[in-house]
Amino acid sequence: MIRTFVLLELLLLFSCNSKTTKEEVQNHETSEDELVYPEPKITGDRYFDFDELLHYRTDFEESRIRELSENEHKSELDSLKSGVLLGSIPNSLTDVTFIKNLSAFGYRKYQINKEKFAEINSIFTEKKHAEVVAYACDYVYRDILIFKKKSKIVGIAKICFECGGSRIVGTKANTDEFGQSGDLERLKKLLSGE
């Protein structure tokens, strides 16, 4: 029995040992701030064809999230606010009445410069990633992007940069792997430099 245990232990020890070559280390050396991701494979088209992009942003406080979500006697406006910030509103492109209330919910509106559209399009493109990371947290959608074409809304993306979550409506593309391989970090930098 002891021999079996020792043999099993040695087998586990050697099977878990990984070797890293000098070439692998050199290929993965980066600055402390920068992570290197394998290049994703583009598997589809861009999510949206747009000529205008609006960014709504709020700094909704963590302390108020629980209060908003657990309030059993919400007003109609607070229910809508909870659905936008924490839930599944909007469900479709026809469900856009929430937009007129965004400023009342504490969102500020920014117009995204057209010079950033090419890079934003590269992020909002259907891709397959070598590694997919998912976080186990409740999404708080503090950032909302409204994509328009000839003044008509063609897409909406709600983003939780803290947890890496997103809710995207208006595209037929598979959005399951949106934001992976550093795309979410790139998008955050693009939006913060408005």
User: Which is more confident, 17 or 162?
Assistant: 162
Please give the model's pTM, rounded to 2 decimal places: 0.75
For residue 90, cis peptide bond before it (omega within 30 degrees of 0):
yes
pLDDT digits (tens, 9 = 90+) for 128-153: 655 656 666 788 999 999 999 999 99
The reported pLDDT for the residue numbered 146 is: 98
pLDDT digits (tens, 9 = 90+) for 83-108: 999 999 999 999 999 999 999 999 99
Residue 7 has pLDDT above 60, yes or no: no
pLDDT digits (tens, 9 = 90+) for 41-72: 555 688 899 999 999 999 988 778 888 888 77
From the list 50, 147, 59, 48, the residue with the least C-alpha distance to 106 is 59
Look at the block and give the residue holding tokens 């992007």.
145
User: Which is more confident, 146 or 24?
Assistant: 146
Residue 19 has pLDDT above 70, yes or no: no
